[in-house]
Amino acid sequence: MTLEVKVNEGEKWTSDDPNKMQLYAEMERNQLAALLMSQGGSWTDGFFAGAGLVTSAGSLVVDVAQGVGMFFDATPAADEPPYQRVYIPAAQQLTLATADPANPRIDVIAVQPAVVEEDASNVYIKDPASGVITFQSLEKTRRSESSTSNSALVVITGTPGMSPSEPAHTGYIALASVYVPAAAASITDANILDRRVVHVDRRVGAHAILNGLSVDYKDATTVTVRKGSAYVNGQFVQVASDTDLDLSAAADREQGVSEAASTWYYVYLIAGDRRDNSSGYELKITTKAPGVDGRPGSAMTPTAAHNNMGLTEQNGCLFLGSFRNDGSSNILPYTRAGERVIYYDTQLVPGGAIGPGGPTNLSLAAVVPASVRSADFEAVITNPNAVTSILMLEPNGAAGTGHVLTVDNNSGAPLSWNQVLTDVPLIDQTVDYTITGAGTSLTLRVASYTERLPR
């Protein structure tokens, strides 16, 4: 990321120098404007998405992810702008100091803006005192780079103690705090507290799935959450590998939630800190349905590892998907394609065949979740008479917004039609149906549904 052309005192300019200056200045203004606009016009120290994320690399080594951030200096030097780009050009590794044998300590992984001069060119330089002109090779451009090679990415080692505190990091942005236990030979991600301010591109949203994180059927007791990433209440969270959740295992359910037959379950990604053996996130199964913003409709009960993270509120929880088990507590098999869930076998809407009349509200709670947005129905219409039968399926209380199906029996003999109505909009776990035509009966099955996922 080239920032500027460097002009040395006494240097002879060429026409290429102001041209490059104008180009680089324009590029810098455009890039900064794009960053600020995505934040609604304001920015403090921080990073985009996974930039600067610190993770364990085994032993006493940490990895720092590449990416871009910004350092804000409220009182910059006369020749420096208040916003300075922080660019980590490639993944970096840092080694922590040997652990104290008796007491723990807290280290800070920190970064500051820095530049690298490069692009050596032969230029004429006039000595301002003697007036002598010499031909010299000098670096002509400056670019932003914060890395271990130029000491802009560092470990600030803390002081061991019974109750250690973080060391000061004036002039740096703290990326992470690392809790180093006494006599430890290694650390894990559980010892790392993400200290970054993650700025959310407001075109994405502060609470949304970015990629992956699909909740897929595995077997009668298990679903798999695929690897991926998300913003959870403005915090970037990355799930690095596929994770199985076992409905029969208490550890995979929210505290206080028991397994029950014929029940809808909802999976959430729960963000949190990573110090003192608490994990950076959790994946939990619960019976709490999500609201339209992807947060649970009521407070989640935190586990012991997250009991200081404010999870009695709903803000730190992001809805990923739903599933249901049957009367034998076996998860109903399904496949998932984004927001669409397709049952292996179509599910009968309870209540048996229904006859003419309506609009009548019909419960779908046994076949679609509370997070439903639409459903695909298989409708079996039987008509023993030579009449026209009309079926209307509409969202609860929203007349005129659903689907209409018309069938004609011209034979006068009992006939059945198997028809599919796709993407019937739903606003809850019910549907309003209306049937006309003397003697007409209807049986409904649900083949698939789409649900509201926070994207």
Tell me the sheet residues that pair with 136.
123
Indicate if 177 and 217 belong to the same structural domain. Answer: no
Using the 3D structure, point to which of 199, 234, 266 is the last residue of a domain: 199
How would you classify the pairing of strands 133-144 and 115-126?
antiparallel
Same domain (yes/no): 10, 112? yes
Task: Specify the CATH number for the domain of residue 390.
Answer: 2.60.120
Task: Find out whether 296 and 207 touch, Cβ atoms under 8 Å.
Answer: no
- Residue 11 has what pLDDT? 45
Question: Could you give the C-alpha distances from 323 to 245, 286, 333, 334, 346, in angstroms and in order?
Answer: 12, 11, 9, 9, 14
- If you ran DSSP here, which 8-state letter would residue 189 be given? G
- Range of the structural domain that residue 220 is part of: 208-332
Torsion 348-352-357-358 (CA) sign? negative
**Cβ contact 286:257 at 8 Å:** yes
pLDDT of residue 31: 56
Find the radius of gyration of the CA atoms of the chain. Answer: 31
Q: For residues 356 and 436, is the Cβ–Cβ distance under 8 A?
A: yes
Retrieve residue 46's tokens: 């921080």
Last residue of a domain, one of 280, 304, 332: 332
Tell me how many domains the chain contains.
3
My answer on whether 228 and 349 are in the same domain is: no
Which tens digits make up the pLDDT trace of 277-328? Answer: 334 688 899 999 998 778 887 777 655 444 433 344 466 788 999 999 999 9
- Cα–Cα distances (Å) from 320 to 109, 255, 317, 336, 428, in that order, read 31, 18, 10, 12, 18
* Residue range 172-212, pLDDT digits in tens: 888 989 999 999 999 988 888 888 876 655 544 567 888 88
- State the alpha helices, DSSP H only, in 39-94: none
Same domain, 185 and 218: no
Question: Do 246 and 178 belong together in one domain?
Answer: no
Whether 275 has a pLDDT exceeding 60, the answer reads no
What the block records as the tokens of 97 is 């100091």
State whether 132 and 176 are in the same domain: yes
Residues 12 and 97 reside in one and the same domain: yes
Say how far apart CA 423 and CA 180 lie, in whole Å.
Answer: 54
**pLDDT score at 74:** 72
Q: Is the same domain home to 311 and 368?
A: no
Nearest to 237 by CA among 194, 174, 186: 194
Q: Which residue has the tokens 């998932």?
A: 336
Q: Any bridge partners for residue 431, and if so which? A: 362
CATH number at residue 224: 2.80.20
Residues 319 and 231 both lie in one domain? yes
- Contact residues for 170 (Cβ-Cβ < 8 A; gap 6+): none
Tokens matching residue 110:
């920190």
Q: Which of 332, 363, 397 is the last residue of a domain?
A: 332
Q: In the predicted model, is pLDDT for residue 359 greater than 70?
A: yes
